[in-house]
Structure 1
């Protein structure tokens, strides 16, 4: 698993979108036991914090120590800096395993055997993330050009899994039919810019070319924003869920 987010862990914690209650309600509705959960690639701990409202114990792992330092603290969450593919947990240990906006970074040939090992029979694996956001037609046009043409070459190869909806990532468990869900927000201009700054491709561009690529579209994007205090922002959630 690559560590693309340690450098901007502060912005990541501040500006990354938060999954809606409906997502967790659906996942929890597939379970009958709430003893232990594992959140893989936990990042800033937002998913772990939601799991902690229902589970007795939550294990949350990430390879970024910087992310874990900023993660949400709750007494029943235990954070550890370790890779999901080699995480040290007992067999048949978890009722639920979650992976939020991270499965595309994993070594799937190594991760899924680990899932089969530590997930209880009848336990659930839920993988979720989100596609490129949508807003007004004018904003979408600027963002699409930025995403594809300006920073397109700076995305890691794994990003393709988001673009094609996880279609090329194997899923070894019995699938559970999932609803189509969305994250919807009213963002300020500063929130939009802050979110763009968290993109790994933006950080790759910045390190390689020593200039901020967002500056290249700022005037055009501001024109599309049209001086509004807030604009609607919508993310389609990618969700795969299955039972062992």
Structure 2
């Protein structure tokens, strides 16, 4: 399998923006996962980044092991008494065999060597543990703002996205998921943001960082006025993302 893009180079530069401006998930989703898991002693948040999902997992599991290969991202994650952050690859961790009730991968599976990661999931999972893989793609606000976001995403920084990004765009449809599927209720990924938060979200895009590194220019700055005009006078607006959830039972 081809070597995946090294995410340490993609997400180090904008680790502050990632922690400050990435959306968080529906708390009800984590409560539901805890009920569906065979136990709540330990969860593994794999590819945790700066802890967008870790914090919610920690409310429902006795211990959370949160791993990522990017030390800069881990440095920004919230410190919690029942969370153990480890700078480790998804495919080879220090987790004990058969020690995990739930493995969660939030917006990260496309960066992994997937077959090797699945082997690690089998190794560390106890009987009937869950593997939850979630991802989100383009946001929705208003038609005018959505068109501007699409222009930035495709036309301005489109060539600077890593090849793995295509898996997010397709909702991981082309990545095998060889686990017994578990039906999942519908959960939303929604937020209420002001314009500054939206522009900050763009700063967290890996393609924006790559564009800046390659050109020395800020791809968002020339579009700020257009975004301001499209945003209008509303102090805040509702923002939503289509959410893909794949949930499987590890036998």
TM-superposed deviation, 1:27: 1.5
TM-superposed deviation, 1:109: 1.8
Q: CA RMSD in A?
A: 1.2
The CA deviation string for residues 120-153 of structure 1, in whole angstroms up to 9 with x for no partner, is: 1110001112121000011011111111111111
Q: In the alignment, which residue of structure 2 is the partner of 1:131?
A: 137
Q: In the alignment, which residue of structure 1 is the partner of 2:244?
A: 238
Q: Secondary structure at the match of 2:165?
A: helix
Structure 1 unpaired stretches of 5+: none
Q: In the alignment, which residue of structure 2 is the partner of 1:100?
A: 106
Counterpart pick for 1:219 among 198, 216, 225: 225
Does the CA contact (< 8 Å) of 1:64 and 1:81 recur in 2? yes
Counterpart pick for 1:18 among 7, 24, 37: 24
Q: Secondary structure at the match of 1:196?
A: helix
TM-superposed deviation, 1:113: 0.6
Partners of 1:211 and 1:199 lie apart in 2 by: 15
Q: TM-score, normalised by structure 1?
A: 0.96
Length, aligned pairs only: 244
Does the CA contact (< 8 Å) of 1:133 and 1:234 recur in 2? yes
The CA deviation string for residues 28-48 of structure 1, in whole angstroms up to 9 with x for no partner, is: 231231111111011112322
Does the CA contact (< 8 Å) of 1:181 and 1:236 recur in 2? no
Q: How does 1:68-83 map to 2 (within 5 A)?
A: 68-83=74-89
Partners of 1:19 and 1:10 lie apart in 2 by: 19
Q: Secondary structure at the match of 1:135?
A: coil
Partners of 2:237 and 2:57 lie apart in 1 by: 30
Counterpart pick for 1:2 among 7, 19, 27: 7
Q: In the alignment, which residue of structure 1 is the partner of 2:37?
A: 31
- Please tell me whether residue 41 in structure 1 is matched to residue 76 in structure 2: no
Does the CA contact (< 8 Å) of 2:22 and 2:52 recur in 1? no
TM-superposed deviation, 1:221: 1.6
Q: In the alignment, which residue of structure 2 is the partner of 1:206?
A: 212
Does the CA contact (< 8 Å) of 1:84 and 1:111 recur in 2? yes
Q: Secondary structure at the match of 1:88?
A: coil
Q: In the alignment, which residue of structure 2 is the partner of 1:58?
A: 64
Partners of 1:69 and 1:184 lie apart in 2 by: 26
Q: Secondary structure at the match of 1:203?
A: helix
TM-superposed deviation, 1:26: 2.5
Structure 2 unpaired stretches of 5+: 1-5
Query: Structure 1 runs of 4+ off > 3 angstroms?
Result: none
- Please tell me whether residue 172 in structure 1 is matched to residue 172 in structure 2: no
After the TM superposition, which of the residue ranges 231-240 and 172-181 deviates more from structure 2?
172-181
The CA deviation string for residues 95-127 of structure 1, in whole angstroms up to 9 with x for no partner, is: 111111111111102111111111111100011
After the TM superposition, which of the residue ranges 204-213 and 230-239 deviates more from structure 2?
230-239
Does the CA contact (< 8 Å) of 2:62 and 2:82 recur in 1? yes
